[in-house]
Amino acid sequence: MNNLTKRALTGIILVLVIAGAIIGGRYCFILLILTINLLTLYEFYNLFDNQDISPVKLAGAVLSTVVLSTVALVINGNNDWEILLINIPLIFGIFFIKLFMLSGHPFHDIGFTLLGIIYITVPMCFFIGIAFLPLLRHTYSYQIPLGYFFVLWANDTGAYLIGKTIGRHKLFYRISPNKTWEGSIGGAIFAFITVFLGSLFLTSLNTGEWILLATIVIVTGTFGDLVKSMMKRSLNLKDSGSILPGHGGMLDRFDSLLGSAPFAFCYLILLGYA
């Protein structure tokens, strides 16, 4: 089975699983995001686990899960905001744990443990928030998260196909030698066509609002992709993992979401979905 076939099959399965979980309701959606978050965080910690750095994986996973869960509980209306305070002792607990662990570089370990939370879990919190706008109503809507993923998928597919076919001019050669301007433009065109058609059925936003949201996702998602490429290049890696055949790792698949979710959330808030 060649790489293109693997990529297509994996992509179809991902689309079915993610779309099904989003449409399945608030708890399926939250479980989906918790799963993506933990798998991505585990991959991140493994990338930086070497003789000089050893992230506190279990404590980081616990903190990440509690952060995401407490944010979800508040947004869903199950608890008041005070439950978020439980995260403060958990953060300092990582420092406490390192006091009793042998390590040549304890603050490097702590730093990369917390960096995983900032880089992965915080954007995931924003993405959960997108599904519950306006936040004070505590109501879940699948439309914006589903349309959001369609934009990401269309952009990625278009960039891959057009880049492989006619890509010549490098987008950011020092960081990502394989990305081209042609691929990026092709991905954007695919995404705009998809969001235009999707806006006919997903009516939470009008067509103009969807197009502007897609623009933000495309631009900031590309930024997220380049940040991940910078990370891989610093580690001399081609892929962040191998859990997704044809796509690489979880970071390879969800980097655009991590880069774009906070900006998309801010846009929607400014649009009036407070």
The confidence band for 274, taking pLDDT boundaries of 50, 70 and 90, is: low
Q: Where are the beta strands (DSSP E) in the chain?
A: 170-172, 176-180
Specify whether the CB–CB gap between 36 and 254 falls below 8 A: yes
Angle at 140 between CA 135 and CA 141, to 5 degrees: 110
Query: Is pLDDT larger for residue 207 or for residue 50?
Result: 207
- What pLDDT, in 10s, does the model give residues 118-164? 999 999 999 999 999 988 788 999 999 999 999 999 999 999 889 88
Query: Is pLDDT larger for residue 6 or for residue 265?
Result: 265
* Candidate from 11-15, 36-40, 204-208 with smallest mean pLDDT: 11-15
If you average pLDDT over residues 7-13, what whole number do you get? 85
The confidence band for 55, taking pLDDT boundaries of 50, 70 and 90, is: very high
If you average pLDDT over residues 260-272, what whole number do you get? 94
- What pLDDT, in 10s, does the model give residues 81-106? 999 999 999 999 999 999 888 778 89
- What pLDDT, in 10s, does the model give residues 212-260? 999 999 999 999 999 998 998 888 887 777 787 767 789 989 999 999 9
Q: Is 72 exposed, middle or buried (0-12, 13-18, 19+ CB in 10 A)?
A: buried
* Residues in contact with 179: Cβ distance below 8 Å, sequence separation at least 6, in sequence order: 159, 163, 170, 171, 172, 225, 226, 229
If you average pLDDT over residues 28-52, what whole number do you get? 94
Backbone angles phi, psi at 172, to 5 degrees: -155, 75
Sign of CA dihedral 246, 259, 17, 185: negative
Token reading at 264: 């998309």
- What pLDDT, in 10s, does the model give residues 175-217? 888 889 999 999 999 999 999 999 999 999 999 999 999 999 9
Q: What pLDDT score does 237 carry?
A: 81
Specify whether the CB–CB gap between 178 and 233 falls below 8 A: no
Q: Is 66 exposed, middle or buried (0-12, 13-18, 19+ CB in 10 A)?
A: middle
